[in-house]
Amino acid sequence: MKTRRWLYPAALIGAAAALAASARAELPKPGALAKPAPETQAGFPRALYRATGADGYDAPDKVALGEKLFFDGRLSADGTVSCATCHDPDKGFTDHRATSQGIKSQKGQRNAPTVLNALYNDSQFWDGRAAHLEDQAKLPILNPIEMGQKTPADVVAALEKIPEYPPAFQKAFGHPVNYDDLGRAIAAYERTQTATSSRFDRFLAGDEGQLNPQEKRGWALFNGKGRCMSCHAFNPTQPTFSDNKFHNIGVSAHKQNFPDLAKKALKLVDSGNAEAVDRAAIETDLSELGRFLVTTQPKDIGTFKTPGLRNLFVTQPYFHDGSQATVWDVIDHYNKGGVQNPFLDGGITRLGLTEPEIDDLVVFLAALSSDRYEAASKKELARQRTVSRTTRPQRDTAAALGKTALSAGLKGPFGDVAPNADLKDPSRIGGR
């Protein structure tokens, strides 16, 4: 019996170790797509990049250290999760999950934003709770359901025991391992993950043949009837097709009671405490409040940052909660005017796009894929096109064309949108 009493826990420990080793073996590896993208790529906004003044291409030792840390599962409490788990280069630096999964298979409330071109964001995360990439890099490591470390000191102590890290930190920063420099190293690596060099960039540079007739029609819709440029305008200071602002687009409203959530958040969350906001955003139903968790301003209830549009077909699914499976679903959502809620952004209104116009817009967006992801993008576009022909949960053509109110929207002669243009006297709607 003594032998069995000692062997039983040993067997359990061995099984646990095997499981942990198996989990570590499944961590993403730094392949070709993990390497810094070339500064010579088409469309690379070199002047804007230099204006950031932050570590990146010009700090190779920091970048190399950051890449090693980014893929190292030992940064997590149980060795099973790395930064690359949720930001896998082979998946467009996302994880292709609706919401991300951390240690012990725990699931959060938010979709993993891509690291690609993140250096151009004015703030980080869907709600902008981190001002810089350095801050963004450190928070997930300490979140209980992401990487699960207790304190920065625990992380530093773990890294100090790994032979290659102390000299690497000394070489990159000139002093021993510390938590702030960990964030700086990961941020330096992330700043080299730029992804322009698309057919659209070459089209803008003067090569008309880079876009086919359907894609050019989509580009016209993007700037016109589709109204995409209202939040996704492209210019030299906004190279990712994002205004870097926060909007309530009617995604989460149908799930939650915003006023009740806001009252609850004001009691429970200290908006000045980054870690407290991080936990509320990732772990609780308060996540749906979006930017409000950071500012506590009523105008920010249910608002989330405008994502960039480059490389959409390797960063699916979409929106802050990963609720939309295809780009067709995303456009259907906007086409019908979103879903009503008292805090809906004033710019959200029905678009009236026809089915051929939606197709044109989708294929234009695919032309924003960088060369590095072109093959994967084409494959995903084909898959989504097939899905769109049979499964369109967000499509409401009647509402999009102003013929009926949305079933979940406001009631009345014009539903959730402006009156039909063919009404003789729209000013008298509701009058006598």
Active site positions, annotated: 146
> CA quadruple 405, 410, 416, 421: dihedral positive or negative?
positive
Spatial neighbors of 352 by CB under 8 A, at least 6 apart, are 225, 335, 400, 401, 402
165-173 and 152-160 helices cross at what angle (nearest 10)?
110
Give me the helices (H) in 174-249, please.
Answer: 179-190, 199-204, 213-223, 229-232
Distance CA(294)–CA(291), nearest Å, equals 5
60-70 and 165-173 helices cross at what angle (nearest 10)?
150
Q: Bin 176: left if φ > 0, else alpha if -120 < ψ < 50, else beta.
A: beta
Q: For residue 280, give the amino acid letter.
A: A
CA 262 to chain centre: 23
Using H for helix, E for strand and C for coil, what is the string for 23-53?
HHHCCCCCCHHHCCCCCCCCCCCHHHHHHHC
E-strand spans in 216-343? 246-247, 304-305
Encode 134-169: b = buried (16+ Cβ within 10 Å), e = exposed. Answer: bbbbbbbbbbbbbbbbeebeebbebbeeeeebeebb
Name the nearest CA neighbour of 326 among 384, 373, 406, 248. Answer: 384
Name the nearest CA neighbour of 94 among 81, 111, 108. Answer: 111
Q: Do the beta carbons of residue 309 and residue 130 sit within 8 Å?
A: no
Q: For the chain, how are helix, strand and coil distributed in percent, rounded to 5?
A: 50, 5, 50
Name the nearest CA neighbour of 56 among 181, 194, 167. Answer: 194
Distance CA(208)–CA(222), nearest Å, equals 17
